[in-house]
Amino acid sequence: MPTSVQRTSGADSAVGRLVREWRTARGLSQLALAADAGFSSRHISFIETGRTQPSRQSLLALADALEIPLRERNRLLEVGGYAKAFRETPLVADEMTHIRSVLQFVLDRHLPHAALVLDRHSNCLMGNRASGRLLAQLAAPALITRGTNMLRAIFHPDGVRRWIVNWDEVGPYLLGRAEREFGDATDPVGAQLLAELRAHAGLPDPKSRPDARLRASDVLLPIHLRRAELELRLFTTIMTFGTPQDVTLQEMRLETFFPADQQSERRWIELGFGDPIVT
């Protein structure tokens, strides 16, 4: 069993508070967490109250039991006085060449339909031809830049939201997801983006929004688009990597779009969004 150092002071500790916050967020009692991590409930109590300084191995065991994301596991270790355990490699790094090739293969094979690779803040890291052409039809040019932030491109008054017929359904869902993902005070970039999304007019009041938590039926999010002669009914789904040991890979998402009916399928092909670009 991982070792820990006993303290004489009963003062609460930063690492103990983090463990307690994650345990509470997961809806676990000290006894349940102790059983999952292989500790005694007394030991968990001592860690949370600061009477015990947990070892690095103890923190990793607790993080495993609590299913804490890799970025937050690194933070837990640092607060506990230890070095990070998981690296964060930029997608453009040489070490990620194979990953980029695999992602490009997936994006290309998804043609003629749209697909994107997004980072933790919904910045576009990669995309296929169809995604770029569709976005160009729906968002103002000023919103489309290198590494376009897709949430900003959707929520901005000059963005995609203008053409989403079922915005009352899509808007609350996307905002609810952003609130869950960016609500952490330790993520200033996410907090700033969330504040920007909330500031845009026309969004439902949080108190009146329906529960936007992901349910089994929400795996496929329906989106109805209409702009002049362009009308499409699509659904989108988000996929993540299985069990990566790199922060970047764990936070990366592959978002794919599919026509929701035969009419949209035919219209998509007519528009030629997935055709080769002629220069």
The secondary structure of 1-48 as a DSSP string is ---EEE-S-----HHHHHHHHHHHHTT--HHHHHHHHT--HHHHHHHH
Q: The domain that contains 156 carries what CATH number?
A: 3.30.450.180
Strands 124-127 and 115-118: antiparallel
In the 3-class helix/strand/coil scheme, how is 202-229 assigned residue by residue? CCCCCCCCCCCCCCHHHCCEEEEEEECC
- Domain endpoint, select from 53, 79, 105: 79
Q: 46-98, pLDDT tens digit by residue?
A: 999 999 899 999 999 999 999 999 999 999 999 999 999 999 999 999 999 99
Residue 90 is which amino acid? P
Q: Which region among 25-34, 172-181, 226-235 has the lowest average model confidence (pLDDT)?
A: 172-181
**Shared-domain flag, residues 74 and 144:** no
- Residue 257 · residue 236 · CB < 8 Å: yes
Predicted confidence (pLDDT) at residue 9 exceeds the cutoff of 70: no
**Shared-domain flag, residues 251 and 134:** yes
Query: What is the arithmetic mean of pLDDT over 222-236?
Result: 93
Assigned domain for 86 exists: no
Beta strands per DSSP E along 62-114: none
Residue that has been written with the tokens 């992901």 in this structure: 214
Predicted confidence (pLDDT) at residue 41 exceeds the cutoff of 60: yes
| 97 torsion bin: left (phi>0), alpha (psi -120 to 50), beta (else) | alpha
Query: Within 10 Å of residue 91's Cβ, how many Cβ atoms?
Result: 16
| pLDDT band (50, 70, 90) for residue 11 | very low
**Shared-domain flag, residues 15 and 124:** no
Assigned domain for 140 exists: yes
% residues pLDDT > 70 (the chain): 86
**Shared-domain flag, residues 235 and 258:** yes
| pLDDT band (50, 70, 90) for residue 273 | confident
Compute the chain's Rg from CA coordinates.
Answer: 22
Q: Output 5 or 10, whichever has higher pLDDT.
A: 5
DSSP code of 164? Answer: B
Assigned domain for 129 exists: yes
Residue that has been written with the tokens 């609810």 in this structure: 176
**Shared-domain flag, residues 68 and 126:** no
**Shared-domain flag, residues 101 and 63:** no
**Shared-domain flag, residues 44 and 103:** no
Assigned domain for 127 exists: yes
Query: What is the arithmetic mean of pLDDT over 150-161?
Result: 95
Predicted confidence (pLDDT) at residue 244 exceeds the cutoff of 60: yes
Assigned domain for 61 exists: yes
**Shared-domain flag, residues 61 and 17:** yes
- Domain endpoint, select from 24, 51, 79: 79
**Shared-domain flag, residues 19 and 130:** no
Residues in a beta bridge with 257: 236
- Mean pLDDT, rounded, of the chain: 86
Q: The domain that contains 22 carries what CATH number?
A: 1.10.260.40
Residues in a beta bridge with 221: 236
How many domains is the chain partitioned into structurally?
2
- Domain endpoint, select from 28, 54, 79: 79
State which residues form the domain around 157.
Answer: 94-271
Tell me how far the alpha carbon of residue 129 is from its chain's centroid: 23
% residues pLDDT > 90 (the chain): 69
**Shared-domain flag, residues 166 and 109:** yes
Residues in a beta bridge with 172: none
Assigned domain for 29 exists: yes
Per-residue model confidence (pLDDT) at position 101? 95
Per-residue model confidence (pLDDT) at position 272? 79
Predicted confidence (pLDDT) at residue 146 exceeds the cutoff of 50: yes
CA distance 256 to 223: 12
